[in-house]
């Protein structure tokens, strides 16, 4: 299948003021921009190349309208870059730089070619158990590295788990990351994250969540990988809130009885409504999950994966 054509960055109004070199826009005199990879509530992500290093990168640019409207957006954008830069781990997308030029605030980060976990399930259907576990364990390792750095991701979901064509798993998009013990940039009482993958306490106040909030998101993600559909399937926010707040999270074995009972029980613990009943953090979940891996199985390399950028979904502006 031929991937859809991407918009031409030369016609992107966000880059209108940038000079051109050999037909390509150049940012900050260092980055040649090739194409647009994605866009969302806070800006646009481009694929480019660092001229000095010859390194292919992803470049995330904050929408200048937001930057002019409220300095909080700039502060939050820079916070994302600093948070991601604190985590140096092979299972986390690496941020290289954050700067501003020609009125644009941008960060450059590791470019990953492949697909995210949601795209993989959409392409293949529910995954083989060994494959789902390999993806899950890789993502939990990245989550554990973030927790060791004092960060809580707060947006763990299949869309933010990347699988490269060579089989690497990387956790991405620390845009909502919170430094433990710090109020951060989240507005008091604001609900931030992805509703179907958020634990109940995150709806009340995203500032006060602990690492076990990420454990909930990972449990919901493991359910998705193994079953092929979201465990919380409400079509509207009120429906989602009702399911998250008052209905039990569905069990994996109800849809896939061949899954090990102990693995089913572990995932059920991850998505408990009471945070105290979940594994405390990434390290505790990793220790519990790794014994289910089958040596020699779960190879993730897949040349059929579409060559796209992963894990740079744009976070919607806070209310």
Report the catalytic residues: 155
Q: Which residues of 261-274 are buried (b: 16+ CB within 10 A; e: fewer)?
A: eebbebbbebbbbe
**Pairing mode of beta strands 161-164, 55-62:** unpaired
Distant-in-sequence, close-in-space partners of 295: CB < 8 Å, separation ≥ 6 = none
């Amino acid at each position: 299948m031929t991937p859809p054509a991407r918009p031409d960055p030369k016609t992107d109004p966000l880059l209108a003021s940038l000079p051109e070199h050999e037909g390509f826009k150049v940012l900050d005199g260092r980055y040649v921009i090739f194409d647009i990879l994605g866009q969302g509530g806070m800006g646009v992500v481009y694929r480019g190349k660092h001229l000095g290093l010859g390194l292919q990168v992803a470049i995330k640019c904050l929408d200048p309208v937001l930057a002019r409207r409220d300095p909080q957006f700039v502060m939050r954008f820079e916070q994302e870059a600093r948070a991601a830069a604190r985590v140096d781990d092979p299972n986390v997308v690496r941020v290289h730089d954050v700067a501003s030029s020609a009125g644009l605030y941008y960060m450059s980060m590791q470019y990953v070619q492949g697909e995210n976990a949601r795209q993989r399930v959409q392409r293949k259907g529910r995954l083989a158990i060994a494959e789902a576990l390999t993806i899950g364990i890789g993502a939990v390792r990245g989550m554990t590295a973030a927790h060791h750095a004092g960060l809580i991701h707060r947006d763990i979901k299949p869309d933010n788990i990347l699988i490269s064509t060579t089989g690497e798993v990387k956790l991405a998009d620390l845009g909502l990351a919170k430094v433990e013990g710090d109020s951060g940039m989240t507005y008091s009482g604001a609900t931030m994250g992805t509703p179907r993958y958020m634990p109940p306490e995150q709806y009340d106040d995203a500032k006060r969540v602990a690492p076990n909030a990420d454990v909930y998101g990972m449990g919901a993600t493991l359910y998705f990988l193994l079953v092929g559909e979201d465990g919380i399937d409400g079509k509207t926010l009120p429906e989602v809130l009702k399911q998250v707040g008052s209905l039990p999270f569905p069990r994996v074995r109800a849809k896939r009885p061949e899954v090990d009972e102990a693995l089913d029980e572990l995932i059920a613990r991850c998505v408990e409504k009471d945070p105290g009943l979940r594994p405390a953090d990434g390290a505790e979940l990793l220790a519990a999950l790794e014994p289910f891996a089958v040596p020699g199985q779960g190879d993730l390399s897949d040349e059929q994966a579409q060559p796209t950028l992963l894990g740079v979904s744009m976070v919607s502006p806070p209310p």
